[in-house]
Structure 1
């Protein structure tokens, strides 16, 4: 089967020839190994017992393997990290090692962070453009230049199509499955994470169903800033003797180590008098399909408006899951364009910006997400407010929606259907 090129390939093209080692982080089944295999001469799989036993006994064995060398599931023998770091110190030639891992090793498992020797890239599920849907015409990288270019294009995707893509998953191996097979695989993915991957990270889970209940609560809080105590309450309804808040934090930490949680941090602009800003992250799972499956959502229920998200942000479950899909489709090309991502919400909730992409110079692209096919003035209120607050700090203002056309409004705000968003 021909390899399906990913956005992260552009980053690897730019970086790997000049950097001795790069670690590709991301959840299981996201495609890390397949992508890395395209550019190596040697492969060492540490999820194979024989390889793991030999390398654990003598981590320096990685030195004699053919390079460029892919070390898959490197966290199974974390000592190889320090060997790769030492090789990078001794020989700074680019393109020597790729390391892939579906879990972060425990703190202290490696002697050195690898800073300055081993670069790190996050790999996420496929965006709509990577899935080959439509013909994207609006480049996120160009929007980040601040030139406020014209935007145009026609999109054939409609609300039902976006709903289907929320449910279909961006994990490459799950694309094209029958509905029942997809549900089965998503259920298996979640149960394997709780039953096997979490204990491997050192967290003993006496009641796996309790962690799954917490994950369902987290899924119901998708694209909100619900507190972790509220998540724990939602996961244990009617229980008077609730677990300690530390339980919720332990769940959060281990699932983050497995790259299953992918929250968007709060943005705090520097050099501007914005005050009363919230600090809580917005909750997102690695793939919105996981959230939909945890909640038992299907095409009919989502389009009918069923399901009530928990958290301070209003909206339908479909609206929150669509925002999670947009967030995935934005943060992947944003990383490739060297931009970080955040969100903004005032403490009392009177102003909120769904996504803020920030360049190295601090200038930002503000994005609102709307499930609507048409955009009205009321949909741009918060973008105008932010423009008044930070002025020239803003590179551009965008509304991503489900409509048929990309265009600029008379006030300069760009309206971009998600299906037209290109890297």
Structure 2
């Protein structure tokens, strides 16, 4: 593809192919799964190609091995259209006894799991692909490496070129690869088109259950208003009731959220459970986020100028953007992203925790000296509350900001890093 932009996931796909017979790349529509896989694959089967889909489904039933013939790694695009292929691929992997045979892409979980007999354990590797981070789309200059921060650098140097207007635009545009090539006004429409597709079609097509489009809109607005919080389904229901004349129950809300998860629209963040010196009770609820901040923007019906005028909403949506980028970067480092909340009110927006036990503590602030001070104080308090006799001390503490000219280290050891400087 002309003008292909490198994805951090590219190297992860290649790495996984060296150790497994098949790699499944999952993620929301339009995030670039197929395009990335096309760069690596040696042959391709587009299962959902309109003039071939009926034939492909017939062959998947009668003779699936024919669909799997081709130079390897062979890309099976939108594999969930024919779930029976899963077991056929597993069988081929076993009998070929070679790594790197297949790449599968999927923008939803198969509606009929009963057609899959085996889990794929030992044969498949799973990768969740998110929309582009700012480093991948070219808006972050990458002068500060998250990996380097985890390796205990002595100092950092970085200059941020993004101002508040650009940050507002990037939150609204999102990380949809195609949007990064378009004029600004047209690029902003892409998230709204994506939102419309979810509401009108995708949320019902994922499992064949017809869902009320107005209720989907209400749920997504409620979700957007509660991003960055650990609200219950009951709270989401109450948020929706004022806009719904009919009765609602929590089971209905749960079924709608599950459908959104199946099409990778929401990307909730689990709690981190460290060893503490105190007896504070850690709150274990997930924190709610969309997989891209632009989905929340579309659900709320706002744009860059609206965010500039409403810094509170801007702050929550900026946090969502940062969480997206941190998850992209952490995945490349064999790490995960968590949050911390306890019953004393102490919190940490993001904890990057690697498999080797190293971790970093991050507070996210849109910008401003007072907010940076507040974030740094919270990080230091959490660090001092961690029992270092039972686990490592944090490799770094960071206040991740949107607006600010430089990346630097404070005298108390806390790093201040603009999102426009960060990379994996």
Q: Counterpart in 1 of 2:128?
A: 122
Residue 182 to residue 4, structure 1, CA distance change in 2 (3 Å): closer
1:343 aligns with 2:328: no
Cα contact 1:268–1:277 (8 A) shared by 2: yes
User: Cα deviations across residues 87-137 of structure 1 (Å, max 9, x unaligned)?
Assistant: 222233222100000001244341112121100111111111111124221
Task: Select which of 91, 100, 108 maps to 1:86.
Answer: 91
Cα contact 2:157–2:406 (8 A) shared by 1: yes
Alignment of 1:193-342 (within 5 A): 193-237=198-242, 239=244, 241-269=246-274, 275-305=280-310, 316-342=312-338
Alignment of 1:24-423 (within 5 A): 24-48=25-49, 49=53, 50-106=55-111, 107-145=113-151, 147-178=152-183, 181-182=186-187, 184-237=189-242, 239=244, 241-269=246-274, 275-305=280-310, 316-347=312-343, 350-374=345-369, 376-390=372-386, 391=388, 392-401=392-401, 402-423=403-424
Cα contact 1:142–1:149 (8 A) shared by 2: no
Unaligned segments of structure 1, at least 5 residues: 307-315
CA drift of 1:411 comes to: 0.8
Residue 272 to residue 30, structure 1, CA distance change in 2 (3 Å): farther
Cα contact 1:68–1:95 (8 A) shared by 2: yes
Distance 2:327 2:107 in 1: 19
Distance 2:5 2:57 in 1: 29
Distance 2:393 2:116 in 1: 40
CA drift of 1:152 comes to: 1.2
Query: Which structure 1 residue ranges, 4+ long, deviate > 4 Å from structure 2?
Result: 238-241, 270-274
Distance 1:40 1:166 in 2: 32
Residue 268 to residue 274, structure 1, CA distance change in 2 (3 Å): farther
Q: Counterpart in 2 of 1:310?
A: none
Tell which deviates more after alignment, 317-326 or 277-286.
Answer: 277-286
Residue 379 to residue 183, structure 1, CA distance change in 2 (3 Å): closer
Which SS does the other structure have where 2:126 is aligned? strand
Distance 2:258 2:332 in 1: 26
Residue 179 to residue 152, structure 1, CA distance change in 2 (3 Å): closer
CA drift of 1:271 comes to: 7.7
Which SS does the other structure have where 1:397 is aligned? strand
Residue 273 to residue 21, structure 1, CA distance change in 2 (3 Å): farther
Residue 80 to residue 103, structure 1, CA distance change in 2 (3 Å): same
User: Cα deviations across residues 284-321 of structure 1 (Å, max 9, x unaligned)?
Assistant: 11211111111011121111116xxxxxxxxx110001
Distance 2:331 2:279 in 1: 26
Residue 238 to residue 23, structure 1, CA distance change in 2 (3 Å): closer
CA drift of 1:20 comes to: 1.5
CA drift of 1:272 comes to: 6.6
Query: Taking structure 1 as the reference length, what is the TM-score of the superposition?
Result: 0.92
Distance 1:355 1:242 in 2: 36
Which SS does the other structure have where 1:394 is aligned? coil
Distance 1:113 1:272 in 2: 41
Tell which deviates more after alignment, 239-248 or 117-126.
Answer: 239-248
Distance 2:102 2:243 in 1: 52
1:13 aligns with 2:14: yes
Which SS does the other structure have where 1:212 is aligned? helix
Which SS does the other structure have where 2:10 is aligned? helix
Cα contact 1:138–1:421 (8 A) shared by 2: yes
Cα contact 1:21–1:99 (8 A) shared by 2: yes
CA drift of 1:154 comes to: 1.0
The alignment covers a number of residue pairs equal to 412
Query: Taking structure 2 as the reference length, what is the TM-score of the superposition?
Result: 0.92
Aligned residues: CA RMSD: 2.0
User: Cα deviations across residues 27-51 of structure 1 (Å, max 9, x unaligned)?
Assistant: 0000000000011121111112232
Residue 38 to residue 413, structure 1, CA distance change in 2 (3 Å): same
User: Cα deviations across residues 210-235 of structure 1 (Å, max 9, x unaligned)?
Assistant: 11111111111111212211112212
